[in-house]
Chain A
Amino acid sequence: MRADDPHLKRLTPPTLTISEKFFLPQIAAGLAVTAKHMFGVVFKDKAFTVQYPEQQEIQVGQPVNLRTSAVYRGVHRLNKDEQGRVKCVACMLCATACPAHCIDIVGATAPETWPDREKYCESFVIDELRCIYCGMCEEACPVEAIELTGLYDLTGLSREQMIFDKTKLLSVFDVTKEGEPMRFGQPPRPEITPPTALAAPDTTATNP
């Protein structure tokens, strides 16, 4: 674009009024603003501070709708079904989807008394320090067995403590199931459309 282009929009810096040029009235106005805030905090208890460990906005087991964000991705949990069994069928889809490779599953043949599946997870370990909390595992899971909860205060004193095994992940479910019910009670069955319906020729279409 040339300098004399008619489409060029020319802007002039805003001109200061006399009181702005002298700075002092403006500074006094600014001091009044900060004084108001200081007064508010000291005498009217208007600070926004949350005294964190004593005061928490999110409590364990608090209902989802009371939390700051319903879609927060925190610590994982392994869901249980109605009979208290782990829902995981050891299909490895979450471990495959995981970009951080933090999920380690050892599958085993399901016991005879579990007729609804072939396999179950013998061990299910998530390294919470490797995890990037992207939520791709819960997206990948076909049986809604793994979910991310809203728990955010995840701390530990050693690296070993932060490697969560199956028992720990199931206990996270027990802690959070009240506040955050499973998104699906039953594994969702995809609606199977009969292949004939797709293959059937469209009779309404006219041949040109």
Chain B
Amino acid sequence: MLVVIGILIKILVVVGITQGAVAYMILLERKVAAYSQDRIGPNRCGSNLVLPGGFRLNLPFGLLQPIADGAKMILKEDVIPSYVEKPLYILAPAISIIAAMIGFAVIPFGPVGTQAPSGVNFQIAPGVDIGIVYVFAIGSLAVYGVILGGWASNNKYSFLGGLRSSAQLISYEIPLGMSILGMVLLAGSLDLNTIVNYQDGHGLWLTRWLGLPAWGVFVQPIGCLLFIISAFAETNRLPFDLPEAEQELVGGYHTEYSAMKFGMFFLGEYLHVITVSYLTVILFFGGWDAPFLNQIQSDWFSGLLKALVLLVKVGLMVFFMMWVRWTIPRFRYDQLMDLAWKALIPIALVNLVATAAIVELLRSSH
């Protein structure tokens, strides 16, 4: 009973925090956009606020903008056009957001396993051996929301968006899956905790010789690059946001959606960004590993510190994804397919074979 309550509390905390984080990510995204275009961005909401009781509040950076945005989404008229496939039309945003949220079940938000402080677990569903496989399976479900939304809208632009999304998914799931296999081979496990522990360790002779930590980005640089590129495609973000390509497809798959249904697609996309950022950091940037933190430390304080380190790294990754979005123009559809099938998949294969050979050599030399 106590366990169930604990898990429920954990779910509530995670859902609450991630939803809030998504709201503020939208503000961050707008700020990054503004700054990279020599503008200031939202700065009014929260400044010069007069609260009841004559208390004045002056928040910088438009910090209350997310609340205004959220209220707008909820209060807007929810238009359902007469020509849509109503059941699927309503189902699509739900699938999109549910798929994005249940991915969080196995994401470790802080140290787990041997490094975890006793009595606390930063994972909603701890001890899932095939954590990565689960996240990928759920992550690819999110695309059903896009495809169904595009189909059910009964609109050519939405349909084209959905179509593009399905083609993109088929192309990018393969390099995405293969890019992590190198890391899995090196660590010898699909368990996210084991992979982080490996990165906390001493790594290969090359990284040792260069004095670098055994982070995935150093022991598997090509795998890391492939993973990040595929992750951009997986989350439908620029330069691979072809399903919504505003300039060509009006709004793409969410052209016919309004109010909170549109908001749910939005939420799903940003939740997906958080999931992918967590995965990137855990697989390739050392997870909660920091130079001043020791693997053996497992008290409460260092546990929280490790969770904080992970959070900072994830924040940087999210910022990087936004930075890239406001830098690179969108790929053309044929270029996207070229990149996936002619470049990423062969490179991923070569990387996988080479890693397997090296791991085998290392094992036999022991």
Interface membership of B38, Cβ < 8 A: yes
Interface membership of A85, Cβ < 8 A: no
Given A34-B323, A35-B323, A38-B32, A47:B328 Cβ within 8 A: no
Q: Which of B19-34 contact A (CB under 8 A)?
A: 32, 34
Q: In the assembly, what is the distance between CA of A156 and CA of B323, in Å?
A: 41
Residues of A within 8 A of B114 (CB): none
Interface membership of B118, Cβ < 8 A: no
Question: Does B327 contact A38, Cβ atoms closer than 8 Å?
Answer: no
Interface membership of B207, Cβ < 8 A: no
Residues of A within 8 A of B326 (CB): 34
Q: In the assembly, what is the distance between CA of A35 and CA of B36, in Å?
A: 7
Shortest distance in angstroms between B322's beta carbon and chain A's nearest beta carbon? 10
Shortest distance in angstroms between A55's beta carbon and chain B's nearest beta carbon? 12
Residues of B within 8 A of A175 (CB): none
Q: In the assembly, what is the distance between CA of A119 and CA of B36, in Å?
A: 61
Shortest distance in angstroms between A117's beta carbon and chain B's nearest beta carbon? 52
Interface membership of B250, Cβ < 8 A: no
Shortest distance in angstroms between A52's beta carbon and chain B's nearest beta carbon? 11
Shortest distance in angstroms between A101's beta carbon and chain B's nearest beta carbon? 36
Q: Which of B342-366 contact A (CB under 8 A)?
A: none
Binary per-residue interface labels of chain A (11-42) against chain B in the complex, 1 for a CB within 8 Å, 0 otherwise: 00000000000001001001101110110111
Residues of A within 8 A of B323 (CB): 31, 34-35, 38
Residues of A within 8 A of B40 (CB): 41, 47, 49, 51
Question: Does A46 contact B328, Cβ atoms closer than 8 Å?
Answer: no
Question: Does B328 contact A41, Cβ atoms closer than 8 Å?
Answer: no
Q: In the assembly, what is the distance between CA of A33 and CA of B328, in Å?
A: 11
Closest B residue, CB atoms, query A42: B35
One of A30, A31, A35, A41 near B39 (C-beta < 8 A): A41
Which secondary structure characterizes the binding site on chain A? Answer: helix
Interface membership of A48, Cβ < 8 A: yes
Closest B residue, CB atoms, query A38: B35
Residues of B within 8 A of A46 (CB): 38
Closest B residue, CB atoms, query A37: B36
Residues of B within 8 A of A41 (CB): 34-35, 38-40
One of B32, B34, B35, B327 near A33 (C-beta < 8 A): B327
Interface membership of B293, Cβ < 8 A: no
Q: In the assembly, what is the distance between CA of A34 and CA of B39, in Å?
A: 12
Interface residues of A, CB < 8 Å — how many?
17
Residues of A within 8 A of B37 (CB): 37
Question: Does B39 contact A38, Cβ atoms closer than 8 Å?
Answer: no
Binary per-residue interface labels of chain B (307-324) against chain A in the complex, 1 for a CB within 8 Å, 0 otherwise: 000000000000000011
Residues of A within 8 A of B35 (CB): 37-38, 41-42, 47
Residues of A within 8 A of B32 (CB): 38
Q: In the assembly, what is the distance between CA of A37 and CA of B37, in Å?
A: 7
Question: Does B38 contact A30, Cβ atoms closer than 8 Å?
Answer: no
Question: Does A40 contact B327, Cβ atoms closer than 8 Å?
Answer: no
Shortest distance in angstroms between A16's beta carbon and chain B's nearest beta carbon? 12
Shortest distance in angstroms between B121's beta carbon and chain A's nearest beta carbon? 37
One of B36, B39, B327 near A49 (C-beta < 8 A): B39
Q: In the assembly, what is the distance between CA of A40 and CA of B32, in Å?
A: 12
Given A27-B327, A27-B328, A34:B38 Cβ within 8 A: no
Q: In the assembly, what is the distance between CA of A27 and CA of B328, in Å?
A: 7
Shortest distance in angstroms between A200's beta carbon and chain B's nearest beta carbon? 67
Shortest distance in angstroms between B238's beta carbon and chain A's nearest beta carbon? 12
In this complex, which of A31, A33, A42 has the most chain B Cβ atoms within 10 angstroms of its Cβ? A31
Q: In the assembly, what is the distance between CA of A46 and CA of B36, in Å?
A: 11
One of A30, A42, A48, A51 near B327 (C-beta < 8 A): A30
One of B36, B38, B328 near A48 (C-beta < 8 A): B38
Contact sample, A vs B, 28 pairs, CB 8 Å cutoff: A24-B225, A27-B324, A27-B328, A30-B328, A31-B323, A31-B324, A33-B327, A34-B36, A34-B326, A34-B327, A35-B323, A37-B36, A37-B37, A37-B38, A38-B32, A38-B35, A40-B38, A41-B34, A41-B39, A42-B35, A46-B38, A47-B34, A47-B35, A47-B38, A47-B39, A47-B40, A48-B39, A51-B40
Given contacts A24-B225, A31-B323, 13 further A-B contacts (CB under 8 A): A30-B328, A31-B324, A31-B327, A34-B36, A34-B327, A35-B323, A37-B36, A37-B37, A38-B35, A42-B35, A47-B38, A47-B39, A49-B40
Closest A-B pairs by Cβ, 9 of them: A34-B36, A38-B35, A49-B40, A41-B35, A30-B327, A34-B327, A47-B40, A37-B36, A48-B38
